[in-house]
Structure 1
Amino acid sequence: MKNTAHYQGLTEKQVLENRDKYGVNILTPPEKEPLWKQFLEKFSDPIIKILLVALVLSVGVACYQFFSGAEPASVFLEPVGILVAILLATCVGFAFEVSANKKFEILNQVNDDTMVQVIRGGNICEIPRRDVVVGDVVVLNTGEEIPADGVLLDAVSLQVNESTLTGEPLISKTTVEAEFKPDATYPSNHVLKGTTVVDGHGVMEVKAVGDKTEYGKVYEGSQIDNKVETPLNRQLSRLGDLITWASYAIAALIIIGRLTLYFTRLEGAVDWLAAGSYILNTIMIAVTVIVVTVPEGLPMSVTLSLALSMKSMLKANNLVRKMHACETMGAATVICTDKTGTLTRNQMNVYKANFYGLGDALPADDELGNLIREGIAVNSTAFLDYADPEHIKALGNPTEGALLLWLHGQGVNYLDLRENARVLEQLTFSTERKYMATVVDSPLLGKKVLYVKGAPEIVLGNCATVRTPNGETDAAAMRPAIEEQLLAYQNQAMRTLGFAYRILDDDAPVFQDGKLARHDLVYLGITAISDPVRDDVPQAVKDCMDAGISIKIVTGDTPGTAREIGRQIGLWTEADTPDRLMTGVEFERTPDGELLDRVMDLKIMCRARPMDKERLVKLLQRKGQVVAVTGDGTNDAPALNAAQVGLSMGDGTTVAKEASAITILDNSFMSISRAVMWGRSLYRNIQRFIVFQMTINVAACLIVLIGAFLGTESPLTVTQMLWVNLIMDTFAALALASLPPDERVMRDPPRKTTDHIITRPMGRDILGVGILFVAFLFGLLQYFKHADITSLTQFSVSGYLGSYLDFSSPEHALTPYELSLFFTVFVLLQFWNMFNAKAFNTHRSAFARMGASIGGFGLVALLILAGQYLIVTFGGKMFNVVPLSWTDWGLILAGTSIVLWIGEFIRMLGSPNHKS
């Protein structure tokens, strides 16, 4: 490299001028909404909106009943209960998201104070990265992150890890135009902010800083769009519309029916004062039905399910920033993944060491083995970091580091060999030579030895013989076999290195004009080096594909490398045709109309630029797909932001993590598969709660509706209904939300987001069970009116059936004991139905996996029973109850449990297969 004094750099005046003109070298932090605005956004949930309307109506009814003297102050407990449900649902979600974002900010701290070497006024000095300006001349050394975008002024063996922008871990950079690669993603003499020098050194002139860099351009649009409507949002909105119109229809039916009955039965002139009171009472009943119809516990169930999943997924190394991302992962139909760092380890390893005569083994006491060990150790510029014995890391050139790691795996400490061998002469690797050569005074052989490694065809060209088990063989004769072997490795997307040596018995010059002067080397063999696929990726990819999710690789790598990685993870098969792979150039010039016909069949996009991946995501979304995107580089940010769910890696770039909704802390694709399972299980839990809650609502609505037409008072008081809402909404929401994930959901295809959240089986269950409950409770009410019950031991089945439609015999007012029995029967019917909801759509017993959920579902079930006992025993006048005998408690528990046993029998008759 030229003497750095050759460059003058900027003067202090020019630095100030350029900073004012082109800006500072920091990324503009994302503008965050104030906390109060984030909290108010929680009220945009469709069900919360319905609850707010119900709250206003409930307050109106309570005010009318209280000020008219019809009800005491306890009538306000109903609107208070709805208000509490709203606040809990919104506050829990808000608190969890704030907590997750604080963890994210700690995870994502950026250090702009890292020192870099620049030349200013002809002198080399160190300045913080933030102070670099356009026009600065920056010195680049191995291991350093490039602070800004620029053009190389000089480069010696310069190799850059561009995986954060292009997905390519090792790119050669040069200032020699003849060596520029025409198919390179970025020009061969350009270096970019956020990439890292892995080998060699150079000098660059800064052309762009901060937001104007390629890194900054991607970062600018990388923030999560919080207003993106998720599949669950859309489905809940449709459910909200259904509930709203159903409640309006029932309310209208009540008003029309009661007014019709009133005026058709009227004899003589209309008493408008009495009629006005009746009409007002009718409107109050209609409004009450609207309030009763709204499932207060649904937003709580959704929020609790999302919050608990958020917390559990963090334990499984998934840091979720946006709660709905938990569930949206369960709806994913396509996962677009990058290669480097996500599918692969982003660390080069020796796949195969093929030294002629030795294979993969290194004998302890053998001249050839010593030559190989010493040659790898001393003819290298890389190092190993032994700080963590369990995870030894390579420092420097990743290819050379892979060789040292291979030596370590053979039980060889490279440092002992390197420190004991005195280096006499050395040619470092350069893109011009394509090899590295070192002459050492070898303590192992007691002689002077030349070691060479580099591009196999170049190294072989300097060899006269090849070392084989039978001695040395003519290199020309061995060349066809060696080239065939090289081609096989290269077809598997592997980097290959050739090795040679020469024991120097004379003083003839070894190097001349910066090149090898000896062409009588002995060829030792080759190594095939790859960035290996992570161990858990093939199984995780299989799990996702078995779940009906399409996997697409999007990478900046070559077609051969991308195809081979696809083969190794089980994505690319022999049956796949070439049209299932596209390059970024081909993708860019293909019109949207044609791509829409091909995009679902596409498996691999290679040589892709950031906007190609984003365009792919948007095309898939136009096909109705729910897209998740994985990535760890700056190049992935636009696609991460465009997708319904962006998943960044824990060691990814700041830009990638800012653009994502979930950060995979352990970088494991298996964690992505687990996130899908969590999402699907969460959706099932929400459906279970809807089945349970809507069954109660149907029963409550029908009871109010029948009572309205019969002109009877509701057997359940306001405070009793409030208690039912509390235990059957909040507690049941907690119980069903806390159910553990079920791995069997991964056997099902992704759900269609166009489907209603209430499926046909759910609708049949809700209406069927709700109507049966009403029929039983109505009959029980009639029986209590015609029989004087002081204990359920007096209950008569024939008397129950006989009084069911007996309206002719005289009735008596229900006693406090009978009302307490009715209240408890009503609650325990719902209690046992909660177990049916737990097992809904599983075709398994409600007691299956009870051990896994005893801390959640089982505990809440016991809490509900204990709470009901305490209310009935000690509730007194406030809840209009009297204590029940232990005998009656036993009979109610046993009698109402028929709900569960019928459900168990139906499930036993159902298909053993898990179906949606």
Structure 2
Amino acid sequence: MAVPGLSRQAAAERLEQYGPNCLPKPARLSFIRLFILQFKSAFIYVLLAAFIACLLLGQILNAIFIFAVLMLNAIIGTVQEYSAQQAADALSKMVPSQTKVIRDGHPKMVDSLSLVPGDYILLSNGDRIGADIKIEKHNQFKVDESALTGESVAVNKTDLAFAGTLVTHGRAEGEVIATGARTQIGQIADLVRQGGSAKPPLMQRIERFTLIIAIATLIIIALIFGLTLLRGADLSQVFLLGVALAVSAIPEGLPAAITVALAIGMKRMSQANVIVRKLVAVESLGSCTYIASDKTGTLTVNEMTISQISLLSGERYHVAGTGLTPTGLVHKHGHGVPVSTARDPELHRLALTGVLANEAHLSFEAKQSHGDQMHADGDGVDLAFLALGYKLNLEMDKAKQPPQEQLFAYESENQFSASINQIEGRSVISVKGAVEKLLTMCQLDAQQTQAVLDETHWLARHGYRVLALASGEVSDPHHPLADLDFLGLVAMSDPLREDAIEAVALCQQAQIKVAMITGDHPVTALALARQLKLANDQDGVITGEQLTQVQQQSLAEFDHLIASHRVFARVQPRQKMEITESLIRQGEFVAMTGDGVNDAPALKHAHVGIAMGLKGTDVARESADLVLTDDRFSSIVKGIIEGRIVYNNIRKVIYLLISTGAAELLLFILSVLFAQPIPLFPLQILWLNLVTNGVQDVALAFEPGEGHEIDQPPRRPSEPIFDRLMLERLIVSALWMGIVAFGLFSLVLAIGSSENDARNLTLMLMVLFENVHALNSRSERNSLLRMPVLSNPLLLFGIILAQGIHIGASYTPGLSQALGISPIGLGQWLMLLSAASTLLFIDEYHKRLWRQQHKPKVRQATADRQLE
């Protein structure tokens, strides 16, 4: 008989032919490529034009400063995006590192990367399959294929087994038929790479915004340029004025400030167990209007838990606790006192039967620093019975001690598992399995049988998976599965996470639609949906089969079904993608969760793909924008709140920069209209925009939430950055700053002071205006007087630092000459501070008027914050 497997030489030749057994890594942008991409912006183009103009005019110092601004923005953006990319790479883990194969006729552990078609693999419980194989031999072989199919229940495999799936029971041998990109996982990964994803809403808004600002700036420059030329001004002065106008209108610090705001959000999200793979996804999550969530492991704990026990005598018991943790009391229905097996022999016998007819292992090791550490191995149903034994205080070591004479492993064809053990000199068989199957092994009268079936149907309607237990002394070794004592029923489920109900409710409060997608039976899905308040009856649940039937008839009707349902049961992997496409067609901004390879296309296609970090596959994580390190739905809600805070802070930064930039532009326009000299040189404006204001706008990005982010409706991707209120505030503040600054500049010139003195005082006034306006920018609606002073200490530090930098520069030789500034007296500084402080009163008065005009909305928001 030929020995299966390959020789080392044949394996090496095939490795050369087929390549290593790994999925092609998605292309990563190099540091240089990321750096070059930072220059794709309308703002950058205008600054590049200003840089070239300065070089042509011989304004080398101005050119150097503009060049430094361009480089600084590019470096900050590149470093942040590269860091996010590196964090994503760190999440990737190769599936099995070692696989047992037959090489040169002998079993050998090899690196899974070296597997090739023709290799003969030996698999046992706990192995993760490294390639697609054709099964040649098998013994009670079961595989968890949830990574591929989404089904959480292990299945018997007798023909083919696929890469990335996990052996949960038995043994098998087989020949490798596909590796790497040619495996089922590889084909799905290739489909993912071919797909695309929509541009994030923040990028859409920023691109529209920068284009509008750039076009408006060029139009203003052209008008001023023509006007000054008509007046007969020197051409070099006209160009210098154009550069100054461009520099004043462009918020040079904006790219860096946005990057910093996103990076802060990224760090806060990581603290909330959300890892950001793509920086702009920080804000995208806050824009979601629809979350399509997996059930298993995200909304539920992904651990089978026994929740109800019904004895043949009619007694019912409720089992508390979720998952495999040993905590959770057992109460008799209608009684508040916990029960124990010592006082209830029937319950003891049922629990012991579940422990003996069991192939799993569950133990807990005491750890001083982190509590008990759990060690679990085996089928989920078997583990649930062991957890029940712990909850009922069975002496588990003794319970497993009776010598085992024979084991009947679970087979789907048989629908039961059993164990014969020696107990006190007797051969006792313990059986658990399908209710109908065990009824044939027991002697029950018609009334008892009907009672069992009625109880089974009642439990099933409530979404439970129901198993029966029976035991008895073996009187005939040839027919051990006969004349058994029917003990009762256990109802088990994968229960909801403790925080899932509250998290879904918070999403609904935030006007975000939530849907549950599962491969489970509609009855099971409905039971969970009722708890989550996603559906009230079976009409609220739609199955994958129903969706297929309707989709073949009418796409419009298919979209209507998707829009009108929040619970999708018996859904096939491909249908997740179809659901996502339907929602996008209907204008939803979709976040999709998933953990399996089968989820990857939908994750890639959704606006925000969210993968599971604990139980997710590499392909799913590579396809996602965000990764949950704890696999909890509640972490998505935390991420939504952080995403909204980030967007609000970006708007605050934009408001600060654009309003001060508009004030500078107005200052220049008034100077040209009234035939005054250039009020500020380009270098002074860059100093103003990037150094003094730059310190503050970065600090403003650290603002905490104002407490009502969850009450805000989701933003439409088409929604502009500037709403009516923000535009009103910008116009009022820019007009006030620009007019006051021009008045000061003209007054200083009128009393006979030099142009340099006038620019020096005007520059200091603008710095003080920026200091005051940074405080105004902390809230769009709320009065500054009602905001905690120290809720953002970095902003106060930034304001002091900005003022200190400017004053320090005026005393620094070389720098003061380059900037054209000099120290001013305390009296002058106090006068300028008084003038700048008027902006605070102007903005507070405008906010008050707005609140009076929108009293109902403001009161509602205040009431919501008080409830929180």
TM-score by length of 1: 0.83
1:426 partner letter: L
After superposition, the Cα gap between the structure-2 partners of 1:706 and 1:62, relative to the gap in structure 1 and judged at 3 Å, is farther
Q: Say yes or no: does 1:813 pair with 2:809.
A: no
**Residue equivalent to 1:899:** 839
Question: What is the match of residue 152 of structure 2?
Answer: 169
CA contact (8 A) 1:584 1:609 kept: no
Matching residue of 1:145: 128
Mapping for residues 33-182 of structure 1, pairs under 5 Å: 33-44=29-40, 46=41, 49-61=42-54, 63-64=56-57, 66=58, 75-117=59-101, 126-153=109-136, 155-173=138-156, 175=158
Q: Is the 8 A contact 2:6 2:102 kept in 1?
A: no
Counterpart of 2:222 in structure 1 is 252
2:625 maps to: 661
Contact 1:158–1:202 (8 Å) recurs in 2 = yes
Q: Which residue of 1 aligns with 2:792?
A: 853
Contact 1:629–1:639 (CA<8 Å) still a contact in 2? yes
Asked if the contact 1:843/1:914 (under 8 Å) is kept, the reply is no
Moved more, 231-240 or 373-382: 373-382
The correspondence of residues 191-206 of structure 1 with structure 2, limited to 5 A, is 191-206=161-176
Q: Determine the C-alpha separation between the residues in 1 that align with 2:378 and 2:28.
A: 38
What residue is the counterpart of 2:422 in the other structure? 441
Cα distance in structure 1, aligned partners of 2:495 and 2:124: 27
1:591–1:704 distance in 2 versus 1, CA, 3 Å: same
Distance 1:564 1:756, change over 3 A: same
1:332 CA displacement = 1.7
SS of the counterpart of 1:500?
strand
Once residues 716 and 638 of structure 1 are traced to their aligned partners in structure 2, the CA distance between those partners, rounded to angstroms, is 55
AA of the residue aligned to 1:708: V
1:735 aligned onto 2:727: no
For the residues of structure 2 that align with 1:632 and 1:846, how far apart are their CA atoms?
47
CA distance in 2, matches of 1:57, 1:426: 83
State the alpha-carbon separation in 2 of the partners of residues 591 and 497 from structure 1: 41
Larger gyration radius, structure 1 or structure 2: 1
| Paired position in structure 1 for 2:327 | none
Q: How big is each residue's C-alpha offset from its partner over 1:449-468, in whole Å with a ceiling of 9 and x where there is no partner?
A: 33221112221232225xxx
Residue by residue over 1:23-71, the C-alpha shift from the partner in whole angstroms, topping out at 9 and shown as x without a partner, is 6533233333333223222222x3xx4224323324423642x4xxxxx
Matched, 1:884 2:824: yes
**Matched residues in 1 for 2:80 and 2:38: separation?**
12
What is residue 782 of structure 2 aligned with on the other side? 843
In the alignment, structure 1 residue 867 sits paired with structure 2 residue 849: no
Deviation at 1:830, TM superposition (A): 2.3
Match status 1:827 vs 2:767: yes
- Are 2:529 and 1:566 aligned? yes
Q: In the alignment, residue 99 of structure 2 is paired with which amino acid?
A: M
User: Separation in 2 of the partners of 1:217 and 1:615?
Assistant: 18
Provide the rounded CA distance (Å) in 2 between the counterparts of 1:762 and 1:728.
23
Q: Which amino acid aligns with 2:589?
A: V
Query: Within 2, Cα distance between the matches of 1:289 and 1:536?
Result: 54
Residue 381 of structure 1: CA displacement? 0.6
Q: Structure 2 vs 1, CA of residues 612 and 18 (structure 1 numbering), >3 Å: closer, same or farther?
A: farther
Instruction: Give distance in 2, aligned partners of 1:523 and 1:606.
Output: 33
Question: Is contact 1:582–1:604 with CA below 8 Å preserved after alignment?
Answer: no
For the pair 1:384 / 2:347, whether they are aligned, the reply is: no
**Alignment match of 1:234 (pick from 201, 204, 207):** 204
Task: Report Cα offsets for 1:248-294 as digits up to 9, x if no partner.
Answer: 2212222343445x3xxxxxxxxxxxx5x635533442343233211
Relative to structure 1, is the Cα distance of residues 282 and 225 closer, same or farther in structure 2, using a 3 angstrom cutoff? Answer: farther
Residue in 2 that maps onto 1:624: 587
Tell whether 2:408 aligns with 1:424.
no
Q: Is the 8 A contact 2:362 2:387 kept in 1?
A: yes
Once the 2 structures are TM-superposed, how far is the Cα of residue 392 of structure 1 from its aligned partner? Answer: 2.1
Deviation at 1:396, TM superposition (A): 0.6
Give 1:703 shift.
1.4
Q: Secondary structure at the match of 1:573?
A: coil
Work out the CA distance in 1 between the residues paired with 2:118 and 2:697. 61
Whether the aligned pair in 1 keeps the contact of 2:304 and 2:381 (CA below 8 Å) is yes
Please report how far the alpha carbon of residue 111 of structure 1 lies from its aligned counterpart in structure 2 after TM superposition: 5.0
Q: Do the aligned partners of residues 888 and 413 (structure 1) sit closer, same or farther apart at CA in structure 2, a change above 3 Å counting?
A: farther
1:241-280 counterparts in 2 under 5 A? 241-260=211-230, 262=231, 275=232, 278-279=234-235
Structure 1 residue 383: Cα displacement: 0.4
Asked whether the 8 Å contact 2:667–2:679 carries over to 1, the reply is no
2:28 to 29, 32, 43: 32
Greater Cα shift, 880-889 or 295-304: 880-889
Equivalent residue in structure 2 for 1:761, among 725, 729, 749 = 725
Distance 2:121 2:478 in 1: 32
The Cα shift of 1:114 comes to 1.4
Task: Please give the alpha-carbon distance, in whole angstroms, between the structure 1 residues aligned to 2:601 and 2:756.
Answer: 66
Q: Which amino acid aligns with 1:85?
A: V
1:368 aligns with 2:346: yes
Aligned to 1:533: 496
1:487 corresponds to which of 452, 457, 478: 457
Question: What is the TM-score when the length of structure 2 is the normalising length?
Answer: 0.87
CA contact (8 A) 1:454 1:498 kept: yes
- Identical positions, percent: 25
Return closer, same or farther for 1:869/1:284 CA change in 2, 3 Å cut-off.
Answer: closer
Q: Tell me the distance in 2 between the aligned counterparts of 1:704 and 1:661.
A: 44
**Displacement of 1:734:** 0.5
Query: Residue 773 of structure 1 aligns to a residue in which SS?
Result: helix
Give 1:637 shift. 0.9
- Cα offset for 1:312? 2.4
The alpha carbon displacement at 1:768 in A equals: 2.0
State how many pairs are aligned. Answer: 826
Give the secondary-structure state (helix, strand or coil) at the position aligned to 1:497: strand
Query: Letter of the aligned partner of 1:37 in structure 2?
Result: R
Give the Cα separation in 1 of the matches to 2:112 and 2:285. 38
Displacement of 1:655? 0.8
Give the SS at the match of 2:410.
Answer: coil
Cα 1:119/1:139, change in 2 over 3 Å: farther
- The alpha-carbon deviation at position 542 of structure 1 amounts to 1.9
Answer whether contact 2:14 2:116 (CA < 8 A) is retained: yes
Q: CA deviation at 1:862?
A: 2.1
RMSD between superposed Cα atoms in Å: 3.2
Instruction: Give the counterpart of 2:241 among 279, 282, 285.
Output: 285
1:479-558 equivalent positions in 2, closer than 5 A: 479-503=449-473, 508-512=475-479, 516-519=480-483, 521-558=484-521
Measure, in 1, the Cα distance between the counterparts of 2:550 and 2:192.
22
How much does 1:156 deviate?
4.5
Q: Is the 8 A contact 1:353 1:527 kept in 2?
A: yes
Q: How far off its partner does 1:654 sit?
A: 0.9
> Which SS does the other structure have where 1:390 is aligned?
strand
Q: Tell me which residue corresponds to 2:268.
A: 312
- Matched letter for residue 476 of structure 2: P
Change over 3 Å in CA distance of 1:563–1:369 after alignment to 2:
closer
User: Residue type matched to 1:43 in 2?
Assistant: F
Query: Deviation at 1:335?
Result: 1.9
Distance 1:354 1:742 in 2: 51
Q: How far apart, in 2, do the equivalents of 1:661 and 1:83 lie?
A: 33
- Check 1:29–1:697 CA distance in 2 against 1; reply closer, same or farther (3 A cut): closer
Structure 2: which 5+ runs fail to align? 318-329, 331-338
8 Å Cα contact 1:587-1:612 kept in structure 2 = no
- Whether the 8 Å contact between 1:846 and 1:904 is mirrored in structure 2 is no
Q: What residue number does 1:414 align with?
A: 396
CA-to-aligned-CA distance 1:514-540 (integer Å, 9 cap, x gap): xx4422x22211111111222222222
- 1:144-174 CA-partner distances (Å, limit 9, x unpaired): 2223334444554443222111211114325
Partners of 1:705 and 1:110 lie apart in 2 by 62
Q: Read off the aligned partner of 1:87 and give its amino acid letter.
A: M
Q: Which amino acid aligns with 2:778?
A: K
Contact 1:298–1:729 (Cα < 8 Å) also in 2: no
Q: 1:754 to 1:634 in 2, by over 3 A?
A: same
Q: Check the 8 A contact 2:593/2:609 in 1, yes or no.
A: yes
Q: Find 1:647's aligned residue among 597, 600, 610.
A: 610
Question: Which residue is 2:324 aligned to?
Answer: none
Opposite residue 23 of structure 2, the aligned amino acid is L
Distance 2:61 2:709 in 1: 40
Secondary structure, aligned partner of 2:376: strand
- The 8 Å contact of residues 385 and 392 in structure 1, kept in 2 or not, is answered as yes
Separation in structure 1 between the aligned mates of residue 719 and residue 711 of structure 2, nearest angstrom: 19
